[in-house]
Chains A and B, each alone.
Chain A
Amino acid sequence: MLSNDQKLEMYEGMLRIRFFEERVVDLFADGEIPGFIHLSVGQEAVSIGIAAPLSKNDYLVTNHRPHGDVLAKGGDVKKVMAELYGKATGTNKGKGGSLHLADFPNGILGANGIVGGGLPLATGLALGQKMAGKKNVTLCIFGDGASNQGTFHESLNLASVWRLPVIFVIVNNQYAGMTPTAKATSVVPISQRSVAYSMPGTTVDGNNVLAVYDAVHEAAERAKEGKGPSLVECNTYRWMGHAQGEEIYGVEYRSEKEVQEWKKRCPIAAFEKVLTNEGLLSQDRIAEIRARVKQEIEGAVTFARESPLPAPEEAFSDLFQE
């Protein structure tokens, strides 16, 4: 049972992700943020819904679209923004950037630049938890594309055979890069693959934050009871491209009509409605929360801009534990 405070926190968390990502669009376009950026606008319900059942001592592994997941699991907005800027004050001291965001004190082993690269890592974290007799779980986020990668099949098999407390979450946003899911995937809904690995599989509306929460919460309870791994598929949609700046390739792989259809199913608007009906939100309250979160994001941008770059010699540290 989620308390009112928890629900409001989740709502605020979704806004935080939305405003963070939308701000990054401009910062990246202006050249303030270098490298690769993969945004999760439209997928806020997944990030918040999967993180809400977790504690600091549960682990999270995510993919190349990590901002929402990292913020949802307690990543500091300022440090995440600073990492995108490559500053010394970033979560990774500027060594990783968006693709490798990590915050291990908050249980976030990190993002991964290799599609499917995180699944074996998550399996290992869960192995560590089990061997230590902990009652914690590991959550592994990846996309529909990753579910075709060898590591998906190997990791689900291993987690099943060893009965590990890991929850595999497929963020099915209908596209892997520029390829529609159905074109590349032998089984849709993908969660049906769970049968092959002797674990429960379920598909939920990834734009319904409470549905995502319920599915992950159930899987986490299962794992804590020693019943092993689960597969949870969340159907959603990313409003932005696979990567920022991909328009220069001039490839139209999604129709404007489809994008608009999904935008009508905005997860934040939907949750706003639910909470308003429950009397937890009003127009004034919404405006107040939005203004506060927007300010928080601006604070993060200022922090990032004003933070120092790492000294060049810092490139030679952190390879090994001396």
Chain B
Amino acid sequence: MQNLTYGYAFWQAAAEEMLRDSRVFLMGEDIDNNKALVEAVGKERVRGCPISESAFIGASIGAAATGLRPIVWLMYGSFMYVAMDQLVNQAAKLRYMTGGQFNLPIVYWCPIGSGFAGAAQHSDHPTALFINSPGFKVILPSNVYDAMGLFRSAVRDDNPVIVFEEQGLSESPGEIPESDYIIPIGKGAIRQAGTDVTVVAVGAMVPQAITAAEKLREEGISLEIVDPRTLVPMDKQLILNSVRKTGRLVIFEDAPPLCSFASEVAATVAQEGFDLLHGPIIRVTREHFPVPFSPVLENHVIANEKKLITAIRQLLTS
């Protein structure tokens, strides 16, 4: 077994995939300063890019069409917005529009999340924009083991996969086996079994949900924590099975509420699991505001464990 941090797991996975398959290469701003990586794989495959997201994100598409397998590292997920056309109009749609004439095996690796006084333009959780763009698979691992297994799957998938990395979990420790295991895209996991409320927790909210569960256990409340791991395609069955068990659903996501992944889960369960519910579906998300700078303001806007606990208590007493 190897011990490593969540943040490191992504880089190790990228390096290992490049060593495993010579078609895989890495593009991004400043990444060619990673001497260890350049030494391991060669500078042709660790390409530092000029600050021009449209150009290099678009270039990854052309390169993928020729048979290469690019991993594009964005410095911050919100920089994806700079290249929305290349992402949404080109990467997501080209295979479909051309009737399947080529594959685009690309990984867009995007650090996201809040809690470090990054202010509004560096603290986004832009999952919703890409979930709503047909043509992407979207994953968001919440721990070291999943990060490794899912990153491998993303690289080995022949389609554009957006891999979101939670900045807030960078230092989270974990361990992985030596083996070349993978976690399939589209399969969630039960982090903790419980009986009273299903909490679908997304990314950095998973550890917070686990802490909340410990606190609520003392009040006799048992949470079942579901980690979707993949946002698109969503593991609907896992969530519905849990709701069948508990009858109550709370979705916990540090993203603005409107049209969020949380909303998608809520709508899906309301439609396909209506008879399973003993109460309304609750979304515990950010407030619908940009993230303000001053930590006291930021903490008021972003989603956190306290808000989850309050919401669950309210749900159970209503």
Contact = CB atoms under 8 A, between A and B. Distances in A.
Contact of A91 (B57, B85, B99, B158): B99
The 8 closest A-B pairs by CB, nearest first: A120-B58, A124-B62, A128-B66, A154-B55, A124-B59, A93-B99, A318-B100, A154-B52
Contact of A320 (B25, B57, B159): B159
Interface in A100-120: 100, 102-105, 109-110, 112-114, 117, 119-120
A151 B54 contact: yes
Contacts of A105: 101
8 contacts: A110-B97, A127-B62, A128-B65, A131-B25, A151-B58, A318-B95, A320-B158, A321-B105
Interface string A148-184: 0011001101100110000000000000000000000
Given A95-B96, A95-B97, A319-B135, A125 B55 contact: no
Contact of A317 (B57, B97, B100, B134): B100
A126 interface: yes
Interface residues of A, number: 47
Contacts of B170: none
A194 interface: no
A121 B58 CA distance: 5
A59 B61 CA distance: 14
B50 A150 contact: no
A290 to B, nearest CB: 33
Contact of A120 (B54, B98, B103): B54
Given A92-B98, A102-B101, A154-B54, A128 B68 contact: yes
Interface of A: 59, 61, 90-96, 100, 102-105, 109-110, 112-114, 117, 119-129, 131-132, 138, 150-151, 154-155, 157-158, 161-162, 317-321
A62 to B, nearest CB: 13
Nearest to B83: A120
Given A157-B55, A318-B96, A321-B158, A131 B61 contact: no
Given A93-B99, A125-B63, A155 B159 contact: no
Interface size class of B (residues with CB under 8 A): 35 or more
A92 B57 CA distance: 24
B99 A117 contact: no
B102 to A, nearest CB: 5
B63 A158 contact: no
Contact of A319 (B44, B64, B134): B134
Contacts of A102: 97-99, 101
Nearest to B137: A320
Contacts of B52: 154, 157-158
A59 B67 CA distance: 13
A116 B57 CA distance: 14
Contacts of A114: 85, 89-90
Contacts of A131: 25, 44, 63, 68
Contacts of A103: 101
A120 B99 contact: no
B230 interface: no
Contacts of B47: 162
Interface in B84-114: 85-86, 89-90, 94-103, 105
Contact of A127 (B63, B97, B105, B134): B63
Contact of A121 (B61, B95, B97): B61
B176 interface: no
B62 A120 contact: yes
A161 B27 CA distance: 14
